[in-house]
Structure 1
Amino acid sequence: MRAYWRYFLYVVDHKLNVCIECWKEGLYLQGIVHDFSKFSPKEFVPYARKFYSTRKSEETELQWKYAWLNHQHKNKHHWEYWVVNPNSNEVLPMPEKYIIEMVCDWRSFSRKWGRLIKDPDHLTNKMMASSGLVLHPKTRQRLEEITNGSKN
């Protein structure tokens, strides 16, 4: 039971940090509904068991992988949501509000771990440099503009 409580507190804290970042960008509704799927049993239980339980197993890991896949496919601020075919790098451009929400999600880590990540845009650059990140060229360009301080 302790694992569920600890995970609940983590999600609430994360949502608060993302909400603050989204509200700075004028994304009020998205700030409120961000990651709401993490409260669904399909995601909540496997996440809590993976990250906060002392008893882990192969089954726990498999259940978490299903939960993570569900999360990516239910939340449009995840770049994975927009990938049509990863083998051919076929990907759709992300709408502006989801690009900004994705950046707010990344920046929320800086808000939580501010001592470790002084510059939120450094985190965004680090995420963009990730070898696994598959983005439409327009999405990548817009992310670069946001990172470099251009809002338009």
Structure 2
Amino acid sequence: MYGWQHFKTITSHRFRVMCYCFRIGLYWQGLTHDLSKYSWTEFSKGRKYWQGTRSPNNAEREDTGVSLSWLHHKGRNKHHFEYWIDYGINCDTVIQGVPMPRKYVAEMIMDRISASRTYLGKGYTDQAPYEYYMKGKDHLWFVHEQTKAQLEQLLGMLAGKGEKETLRYIKDTFLKEG
């Protein structure tokens, strides 16, 4: 059991996200980001499957075939696009993605930067969050096209123009446009 290590990892990650959210003006989201990770449902699985180099949800999924921690988490945290799925009406799909509000897209970017920094450590580059997204992009059929375009724009900007300019753009333009 790796309870203390898991606690340090999620707390470090939350602190990073909080700092990034504060930099772009999302104070409440920074304070409340990922609080569900401290619930017994999520924390108990995290301490059991903690490895320090990737999400314990993947290890739980590999071990049991499903991540109960992830199912709990995604339903309570609006910065995950899996939260923004609804039944389709008058369309060809049973479920479909709906557009995410910009403040949650921005929080997701802060989350992805922070997760990459947490798990990659000194190996982090501003390209890492974009590369991680692109690696799994083909499996995101359920994400609304507008949300995908926004993620790709912001992660691409991060990869190409760096953190400082991207955070400035998110704060001064992206969040004010929506």
TM-score tier by shorter-chain length is: 0.7 to 0.9
- State the TM-score, normalized to the length of structure 2: 0.69
Query: Any stretches of 5+ residues in structure 2 without a counterpart?
Result: 52-59, 158-165
Moved over 4 A (4+): none
* Map 1:44-83 → 2, pairs under 5 A: 44-51=43-50, 61-62=63-64, 65-83=67-85
> Which residue does the alignment assign to 1:115?
122
Q: Does structure 2 retain, via aligned residues, the 8 Å contact 1:72–1:78?
A: yes
- 1:5–1:32 Cα change, 3 Å: same
- CA shift at 1:141, angstroms? 2.1
Q: CA RMSD in A?
A: 3.0
Number of positions where the alignment pairs a residue of Structure 1 with one of Structure 2: 146
Query: How many percent of aligned residue pairs carry the same amino acid?
Result: 32
Residue 104 in structure 1 maps to residue 106 in structure 2 = no
Return the letter of the residue paired with 2:50.
Answer: F
Return the letter of the residue paired with 2:46.
Answer: Y
CA distance in 2, matches of 1:5, 1:124: 30
Match of 1:138 among 141, 146, 151: 146
- 1:8–1:33 Cα change, 3 Å: same
Return the letter of the residue paired with 2:106.
Answer: I
- CA shift at 1:128, angstroms? 4.5
CA distance in 2, matches of 1:4, 1:85: 38
- 1:60–1:135 Cα change, 3 Å: closer
- State the TM-score, normalized to the length of structure 1: 0.80
Return the letter of the residue paired with 2:85.
Answer: V
- CA shift at 1:129, angstroms? 5.0
Q: Does structure 1 retain, via aligned residues, the 8 Å contact 2:61–2:67?
A: no
* Map 1:5-84 → 2, pairs under 5 A: 5-51=4-50, 61-62=63-64, 65-84=67-86
